[in-house]
Amino acid sequence: MKIFICLTILLQIFVLQVRTNECELTLNDEIQLTANDFIQSQQLCNTSNFSMTNRRRISITGRLLDYTTRCQKSISNANVEIIRIHSNPQLICSDLHHPNSHGYFNLTNVILRFNEKVLLRVTSPGYKTIYKKIRLPLSYERSEEKVVNYQIVLTIDTKQNQSQHDERMKSIVDRLLCQMTLDEKIGQLNLLSINFNADGAGITDNLREKIHRGGVGGILNTYTPKAVRQLQELAINSTRLKIPLIFGFDVIHGHKTIFPVPLGLSSTWNMTLIEQSARIAAREATADAINWVYSPMVDIARDPRWGRIVEGAGEDPWLGSQIAAAMVRGFQGHNLSLVDTVMSCFKHFALYGAAEGGRDYNTVDMSPLRMYEYYLPPYLAAVKAGAGSVMTSFNEINGIPSTGNQWLLNDLLRNQWNFTGFVVSDWNAVSEMTVHGLGNLQEVSVRAITAGVDMDMISEGFLTTLNKSIQEGKLTEQTINQACRRVLEAKYKLGLFDDPFRYINESRAQTDLFTQENRLAAKDFARRSFVLLKNDKQILPLSRSNLTIALVGPLADDQRNLLGAWKAAGEYNQTVSVIEGINQLLGKNIQILHAKGANFVEDLNMLKILNAYGRDVILDNRTATEMIDEALQAANKSDVIVAVVGETRGMSGEARSRGDIGLPDCQKVLLQALFNIGKPVVIVLMNGRPLTLTWEDQYATAILETWFAGTETGNAIAEVLFGYYNPAGKLTATFPRSVGQIPLYYNHKNTGRPYNSSDILYTDTSRFIDIPNDPLYPFGYGLSYTTFTFGPLNVDKTKLHGDADRLTIRVVLSNTGAYDGEEVVQLYIADPVASVTRAVRESKNFQKVFLRTQERKEISFLITTDDLKFFDSHLNYIWEEGAFNIYIGPDSVNTQSIHSSILHRLFDLITVQFDDKLDASKSGYRDDLTFLCDLYEKSFGLINLPSELTFRLAHMYILNGDQDNAIQIISNKLNSKLNDEIYHYLIKFLQLDSSLLTTDGLTTIGNLFLSFRVSEPIRKFWNLFFDILLEKTSPQDLVQYYSDAMRENSNIPYLHLFKLFIEKNELNRLQDIVDIATLQHGSRNVLHDLAFTLIEGEKIKQAEKIFRTPWLKARNSRINLHALLFADSNNLDALIEAIKLTRNLPGVNQSQLFTSAIRVALRLNQSDMIDWLIKEIQENQIQLDIRIKKYLDAHLLSKGLDPLNIEAYKSQNKNEKDSISSASDDYDGMNILLSL
């Protein structure tokens, strides 16, 4: 029976490992084709007319697999299409094929032309569509047949039927918003923490009343089906609209079954395993009635003094981004409405890990370049992975706390990154902005919701102040509606409107929590997270028989601390201690002599802090000497000493920053005594951060970093110590030698005087004079029980030529030791010369490889321009041509390198001046042009050509009569990140080549801009475009183009069209433009702009003529305000002419007209204008707004004149003199205010 159980466990572990290592989701290649292009591709290709001298033959084979089953299921119901795109965008066709019943496809004898782009498109009902570019090197021989093999792994398409899903969600949310009162809307933005126990939730009368009136949108820190049901029933049964609550909890590294802390999990360097850990945590959390988790924490941390480094993935933005996406995928699965998925809330947005001095909640201050390059990428990765929510951070950014930072939450998160979920504050973060110095609770609450916070955690600032702020005009209800909509949409996505009790299932709580399968996974995750830091004399693994070990240290027989920070619902008494794990594994074969040896800490002040929220640390009643003596007695009788030392779980985590990150002194005293015996000492570390271990590393025989490994800690440590598993973890955070080195991280930059360790006497370098610069253990470091050797690096080329090119680098990895094992082959790239300073090296890829003893394997990496991109000084994400270095090795320091370079193409072969002096008839020019164009056709997608070269090549095509290719490369360029340089050369291109463009060609270029948001450069483009188009076509055709374009982008500017048609006296066409623009922008705004355009150009006569035409008569009641806009010109005569013109129009409200005119005059401080207006008002007895009259009276008093004498006002203000006096005091201030 025991043998059967062992075999079952081994089989599960084997299956777990296979699933972890072999099933990788296929990602789409980037393509620059529209939906219309793909509609065209439905026509089948005819290859019979392909020239025999201009073709190549390939075979494409592969298999389609289902990702949601970990590649255990093949996909046979699918289309596999080869899509061919000729250089002419109109020539698109496809070849259709199908896989067999096992998912295999074999496309043989595929004939391709050399001037084609070729895509593989895979579609299957219910799955996401995959596009893969088929890339062959330019050097590929035409006579050679190439075989291309793919394993394509498809995942469920959550976007299928998304339109219907979104429409239903919008319908439900819209209906609720119409029914909700303002207080009920605000109540949805209120998140409360509620205690619970075995009897259920702690429902007070105050809470009951608050829920009853719709004052609570969500609950955190309550779980179990019983407690959650009580609260949800209260929300559904006692509220007017029966809106369900959302229930959140900090599920950081497991829920009931606890896995290694996130810093430990990241050390596995295994994305599938990390995703699986989140998937299991989601299943357990939902079984306990939770549907929203505040995880993952994706903050980059370079300072190990910061206690919350334990919750993240370390210091590297690239690796951190992979882990962030994996965690989000694991929590949310492919369908949020399933009962075993939870909504992820990534945190803490943003830059929380960069707190000054590593002190939690402290100020963050950094340059935008550092922010974008090193700290923001993991947040963006979580957004791209589809995270449903985000939590703000406590720190400030650019002087504004994150919770009230509009640039962060609106401009960056929503506008730049297109995040569509909802934003929740961290605990009490809204009210804490008052301590930051931003105002009282009402003021900071307005600031938070205006910035983009949708839900207020704990502070109840939203609940108690927002209604008042709306009444006082400090906030609009529209802002409340938007925040409420986002919260309601989250509840819809979780399926709560269909079934508010869908996550409350007592039977799942009995079957899905803390299962044997989950515990097996926890043990596997734990042992894979361990990092072997030292192993002198190959002391590890230990012998499994005839061995006496002294097992000492305060953590050797401890359960309470093994779960680490944020233990969720984990129970320490279900955790396996180290001594228990060894006894269960080998208790009968070896002798264990146990002694505690030391307390965790003996500093009484530290002890008070650690025990502030519970008695986690209990001092032994014995003296330190007595405990050490006991340990020495055991050590003297042993063959080897295993010392289990480190931090308590309360020494890392939130608000657990440490100034000294070494082992506590009392534990060091114990280690010193053990070292003095002279026997081998194996240190087993438990901690939540990198520690300073310089002294320990000097004297210990071996050091095994185990972090806080969770529920199965003891079993996992036992298996690693005795060689049942060969440790393969790698550090994701640098271990410094001394606190004085902090911050210390691998991807630092060089200084102008970098330190040279080979010349220690040269002092004028960036160095310490008392300690080395280098770390004790670098990023990526980790040993194994076996040995791995890396062969020389080989590349298929040393130069990349633009975006379309690829470089493959290979290295042979050999296991030359006595044990099977895993190695993480790490790829780093350095860019030694760039437009901004770059890091000495940056992580770009890795492969975790399992090799049996004496086995060897070739490892290859594909390098593209995406691996070379960085943010320049303007925050454009680009790559630049030049040399770069590639490093491969087992960590970030011990690497070998190879040098390569990237060229934009061979444009240095031809020198072409990009101006109107270029002579296309010059001898040899056309041959050179043909060469360049042919070269381009064989290298599609060069969107990152320098802008000048892109438009130079387009210019060449135009001169050669090839408009289609010119437009194609311009289109490709516009698919890259837009910047001022692109606009500059595009406008230069239009000015130079517009005469050679056809009308269709010009409008095609215009269509490329329809999807862009209007900015100043875009506005300049449209102005030039309309000028050129009017030269090429009729005014009527221009109006028709504008009408069609406005259907695609309602923000296309129209002012320049007004000017064009006014100058050409095309008043009928002007009428058309006004009518089209009015449909999108309203007559008030459009006529306002029309009046400005007319009078700014001093077209008073034309204005009068236009305003009197029949098509504007119906709009006359609104013109009075618009005709005044030109007043910014300070032209008094024109002002008077405009007012005279406007007041004579039928239907004009004289009071509104003169009130508006006075406001303009006050704003511009036009004293003469004010005097003229006063004269007109008095002569015509025009009534004014009483407040405006006050300021006019004050103006008159300031000149020693009597106030306005208008009969209508005598009954309105009995205390007119007092009012005038008050207004006089404020007159100067009013002028200043209006002028702003």
Provide CB contacts within 8 A for 567, sequence distance 6+.
258, 649
**If DSSP codes are grouped into helix, strand and coil, which group holds residue 678?**
coil
Count of alpha carbons within 13 Å of 125, Cβ hemisphere only?
2
Relative to beta strand 896-903, strand 842-851 is unpaired
How far apart are the C-alpha atoms of 851 and 890, rounded to whole Å? 14
Known catalytic residue: 764?
no
Closest listed residue to residue 452, CA positions, set 403, 487, 491, 488: 403
Task: Return d(Cα 1023, Cα 1020) in angstroms, integer.
Answer: 5
Burial label for 1040, CB within 10 Å (0-12, 13-18, 19+), is middle
Classified as helix, coil or strand, 545 is coil
The residues pairing with 826 across neighbouring beta strands, listed in sequence order, are 846, 889
Q: Report residue 765 as tokens.
A: 């370098």
Q: Is 847 helix (H, G, I), strand (E, B) or coil?
A: strand
Q: Which of 250, 288, 299, 426 is catalytic?
A: 426
Burial of 1063 (0-12, 13-18, 19+ CB in 10 A): exposed
Question: Which residues lie across from 548 on neighbouring strands?
Answer: 591
In whole angstroms, give the CA distance from residue 1051 to residue 337.
37
Contacts of 754 (CB under 8 A, 6+ apart): 765, 766
435: its two tokens: 């301590």
Q: Using CA atoms, how far apart are residues 783 and 730, in angstroms rounded to an integer?
A: 8
Residue 1186 Cα distances to 805, 1155, 1159, 1210, 1213, angstroms:
72, 10, 13, 11, 9
**Nearest alpha carbon to residue 813 among 851, 756, 759:** 851
CB 1010, CB 973: distance < 8 Å: no
Q: How many residues does the chain have?
A: 1236
Nearest residue to 946 (alpha-carbon basis) of 899, 995, 882 = 882
Minimal CA–CA distance to 229: which of 210, 203, 190, 257?
Answer: 203
Q: Judge contact between 372 and 379, C-beta under 8 A.
A: no
Sequence-ordered list of residues with C-beta below 8 angstroms from that of 432, at least 6 positions apart, any chain: 394, 401, 403, 459
Sequential DSSP letters for 159-213:
TTTHHHHHHHHHHHHHHHHHH--HHHHHHTTEEEE--EETTEE---HHHHHHHHT
**For residue 716, how many other CB atoms are within 10 A of its CB?**
28
Helix-strand-coil percent breakdown of the chain, rounded to 5?
Answer: 45, 15, 40
- Distance (Å, whole) CA 110 – CA 60: 8
Q: Are the C-beta atoms of residues 233 and 200 closer than 8 Å to each other?
A: no
Consecutive H or E run containing 826: strand 821-830
Q: Which residues are catalytic?
A: 426
